[in-house]
Amino acid sequence: MRRRRWMRRIGAVIGTVALGGLLGFLVPTVIAEYTPQKSAQTGLVPVTNGAPELPIAREFINAFVRNDQATLRALGVDETAAVKANDLAASVAQIGNPVLLGTAGAAGASVQAYASDAQLNDGTHTILSWRVLTLSGRVVLILPPQALNNTP
């Protein structure tokens, strides 16, 4: 009789500890899982200013600005980016090193914005900017939008 009573008490203590541990694990997990993310509207999560840029994006933009066709081919970029690098080299007399303006990323994708001082062939100074999209290790140049036609 005494043995049965002790077994019940020990079983109750073990059950209480197990239930407390289970609830202590499940409740925070469920709360974290169902809490809405801060940037659910855009799908992109901004990376903090101290976050490093992707090395492949930096390698691409440096090759693009220098018109290094061998490096561009080695990175596997499309022909549009190679042609745009040729156009850039033909239209500028001098161009500075690209500066990272910011990054934004999501799962498997990242966008880096770059800008650089440039002196055009006619002698005017301007600032050129580019966006580099990386999708699972592949680099794509995002072309700026075309100017609107002012005639209807």
Co-location of 64 and 132 in the same domain: yes
Q: What is the mean pLDDT of the chain?
A: 83
Number of domains the chain contains: 2
49, 118: one domain = yes
Average pLDDT over residues 8-20: 89
Helix (H, G, I), strand (E, B) or coil at 58: helix
Greater confidence, 22 or 40?
A: 22
pLDDT in tens, 107-126: 778 889 999 999 999 989 99
User: What secondary structure letter does DSSP report for 9?
Assistant: H
Q: Among 20-29, 36-45, 127-136, where is mean pLDDT lowest?
A: 36-45
Q: What is the pLDDT of residue 60?
A: 93
Question: Do 12 and 53 belong to one domain?
Answer: no
Q: Please state whether the predicted TM-score (pTM) of the whole model is above 0.75.
A: no
Say whether both 50 and 120 belong to one domain: yes
